[in-house]
Structures are given as C-alpha cells and as structure tokens.
Structure 1
Amino acid sequence: MKKTSRQLQKEQTKELLIKTAFKLFSERGFLSTRISDIAGAAGVSHGTVFVHFPSLDALMAEVIEVYVGKIAQRTHELADSGKTLREVLCAHLNGIQEYEPFYTALVTENRQLPPPARDAWVTLQSVISLHFSRAVQRETEAGKIIPIPTSLLFNMWLGLVHHYLANTDLFAPGGKVIERYGETLIDNYLKLLASKGAE
C-alpha cells in the first residue's frame, strides 16, 4: 500500500530528529542534551519531538539503537573475513572510527543511560566479543598467544580502547584517538599476548 504524503512527512521528521539527536549527542554528550536543544537544531517545535518520542529517554534509546546497530554492522562486516586477532582488532577500531565522538559519549556516559540504551550498548560488545573469541581461540591453539581466559583478554582490550577514548582531551586534543593511536594500541596489546614461541 502506498504511503500518504502525511505518513512520509512523519517518517522524514522522525529521521531528522534521530539524525539531529545523534549529532548533538556526539558533540555534547547524552546527559547535556535536552529535548529543546534537539527541537531547535532540527527546526521543529518542542511538541513535535513528543509526537514521535514520549520522552528524551525514548529518543536517546532509539538513537543509540540505530547508531550502535550501524557500528555493530560495520564491525561485523570488517571482522567477518578476519582470521587473525590483529584483523579483528583492526575491524573493531575501524567500526568505531566513523562514529568516534558518539561512541566516546557512550563510553563515558553509558552507566547513566536508560536501560534500553544500555541494552543496545551490550549488544554491540557482544558482536565484537564473538569475533574476538573466535580469533583468540584459533591463535591460542596455534601457540601464537599465551593462554589467558578469553573474557579477561576481551575486557583488557575494551579497557585499553575505552581508557583512551574517555581521555581524548589528554591523548588527542582536538583530534581523533583511533586515527592517532589505533595501530599503537593494537601493536602493543598483541605484544603483551605473544607467546615466547611465536616471537
């Protein structure tokens, strides 16, 4: 059935609000952005936002779901053909890089986000974890990396990346952390894991 012009306009307005909120969340963070900021930047009335989203939490959750989905999909596409742990780590960083300011806001504010938004965040980590654990298993069995529980290795990797992102002002003021430190993080993380026989 063909959509009416009103339905199309409603969909376009909703998409505009999601894109505008994404931009503001990336620039200001989630907790510093208000509905009125989003409405003003989108050029719509405050009430128009509530036609599409019952609350800021609902809008936030949808924006996170949409863009975390894009990051997860991109990471999955890049990592799916990756056989080595290095390739998977590169895919992870490349998946983040396009959306780095938004991802950084998630890293720094995720514990204060509403539950649906946090669920989307956990889903993203699960996608990465799947590819990561497969690569770790292959390389541990081949004697390339020392045997350490995969969950610990994964948390070490995320902790390293998230520490750099959460401290962008220290590591890459006015720039991008992944662009500046991505290769260094991967190289040194892998050196920590290399078994003596693989050196």
Structure 2
Amino acid sequence: MNKRQEQKERTREHLIQVAFEQFSENGLTSTKTADIAAAAQVSHGTVFSHFPTREVLLETVIEDVGSKIAKRMHELAEKSCGMKEMLEAHLKGIAEYEDFYIRLISEASLLDRVSKNTLIMIQSAISFHLIQVAEQGMKRKQIKQIPLPFLFNTWLGLIHYYLMNKELFAPKESVISVYGAEWIDYFMNLISLEEGGNE
C-alpha cells in the first residue's frame, strides 16, 4: 500500500470513529454528514469521497460496532465457555459502545432497510453463540430445557429494557456497570438447573 492509499485509509477510519462519536451523542437519525465533517475537521466533500451516502456511513459504523461485540463472543464459544461467561462477554462488548448501542436499539424502527438488516445480522450472530452455549448447557443438564428463541429473547428483552430506560435507571452512569452483574445473576437463576444459578 502506497502513502496515498495509507492516508486515504487513515482518513476513512478517522471518519468512522468521529461518526460513531457523533451518532452516539446526537442520535443516528438526527446527525448530519456536515456535523461529522465539522467534528472530523475535514471538508464535507471528504465524507462523500469515502462514503457515497450518509446511510452507507451509518451502516459501516453499525457493522463495525456489531462485529466487535460479536467477535469476543465467537472467541469464547469456540473455547466451549459457560453461559455466564458468554453473558459477561456480551455485556462487556456492548458496554464499550453503550451510548451508540442505546441509540441503535432506540432508533431501530427509524433506520433504513439496510441498516435494519445490519442490526438483525448482528443480533443473529449473538443469538447463534448464546444458543450454541445454551444447547451445550442443556445437554450437560445445567440449563433448563427452554425453547431457544425464548431464552435469547428473554435475555435481550431484559437488557434492552434497562438500556432504553437509562434515564430512569442510571442517568449519569453506565447502565451496564450498575446493573450488569445483577442481570446475569437473575438470568442464570432463571435458566439454571443448578443450585445458585452458576454454570
């Protein structure tokens, strides 16, 4: 890769990072490309030379965040970790991008079709790994025989409820840092066949 290509790639990565920050702070649907250009200290045209539309930039940011959350879960699933470790990895992944993730789930119905599909693909990857670990726990008789979609949707519903109501539960703090351990304990007690709910 020559210097010009390296510079172009650095600018692209910088725009993704600044867009992530702007979307997190101001919302996915209300942030304009002009806001991102100003925050990145580049011309408005520079944004469009890397991303043909605002929607493509948003899709790129969603995909980037989602792949980072799913990557750690994938690594753990390959090591045959337990359900508790998988839930911890899921929350840790979200916690790194908490403000953006809250915007994403809160504004999902307002996104274009491609961004919605990107979010669905992210949730599907997370679901796959959680279900994989749950099936292993069921075989070992550590987890109750619960319909797998219900198990995943119960977990997601629990954390999404708190995240979408951040102002109610933890207005000045990370919701995950305040409640994450409690969610995991509650969920493990709900699904576990073992005393104390730890797998």
Per the normalisation by structure 2, the TM-score is 0.89
RMSD value, Cα: 1.7
**CA distances 1:163-186 after superposition (whole Å, capped 9, x unpaired):** 111111111111101111111001
Residue 120 of structure 1, CA deviation: 2.4
- Counterpart of 2:149 in structure 1 is 151
SS at the partner of 2:152?
Answer: helix
Q: What residue number does 1:16 align with?
A: 14
**Partner residue in 2 for 1:169:** 167
Consecutive unaligned residues of structure 2, counting only runs of 5 or more, are none
1:69 & 1:142 partners in 2: Cα distance? 30
Over 3 Å counting, the alpha-carbon distance change for 1:38 and 1:143 in structure 2 is: same
Q: Distance in 2 between matches of 1:72 and 1:139?
A: 20
- Alpha-carbon displacement from aligned partner over 1:112-169 (angstroms, at most 9, x marks no partner): 2223322322222222222211222222233333221001110010010111111111
| Worse-superposed segment, 7-16 or 152-161 | 7-16
The residue type equivalent to 2:128 in the other structure is: L
Contact 2:73/2:90, CA 8 A, preserved across alignment? yes
Report the more deviating stretch, 71-80 or 160-169.
Answer: 71-80
Paired residue type of 1:147:
Q
Instruction: Verify the 8 A CA contact 2:73 2:129 in the aligned structure 1.
Output: no
Q: Which of the numbers 60, 63, 76 marks the counterpart of 1:62?
A: 60
- 1:83 corresponds to which residue? 81
Aligned to 2:35: 37
1:38-72 C-alpha deviation (Å, 9 max, x unpaired): 01101112222112222111111111112221222
For residue 158 of structure 2, what is the aligned residue in structure 1? 160
Distance in 2 separating the partners of 1:160 and 1:133:
16
TM-score (normalizing by structure 1): 0.89
Q: Residue 137 of structure 1 is aligned with which of 135, 138, 141?
A: 135
Query: Residues 77 and 133 of structure 2 are in contact (CA less than 8 Å); yes or no, is this contact kept in structure 1?
Result: no
Decide whether aligned partners of structure 1 residues 151 and 77 sit closer, same or farther in structure 2, where only a CA change above 3 A counts.
same
The number of residue pairs the alignment matches comes to 195
Contact 1:85 1:132 in 2 (8 A): yes
In the alignment, the residues of structure 2 paired with residue 42 and residue 93 of structure 1 have an alpha-carbon distance, to the nearest angstrom, of 29
Secondary structure in 1 aligned to 2:107?
A: helix
2:144/2:192 contact within 8 Å kept: yes
Q: Distance in 2 between the 1:52 and 1:153 partners?
A: 40
Whole-angstrom distance in 2 between the partners of 1:80 and 1:171? 34
Name 1:95's counterpart in structure 2: 93
Aligned AA (1:61): E
Distance in 2, matches of 1:138 and 1:70, equals 24
Q: State, as a whole percentage, how many aligned pairs show the same letter.
A: 46
CA drift at 1:28: 1.6
Counterpart contact for 2:22–2:36, Cα < 8 Å: yes
Residue 125 of structure 1 corresponds to which residue in structure 2? 123
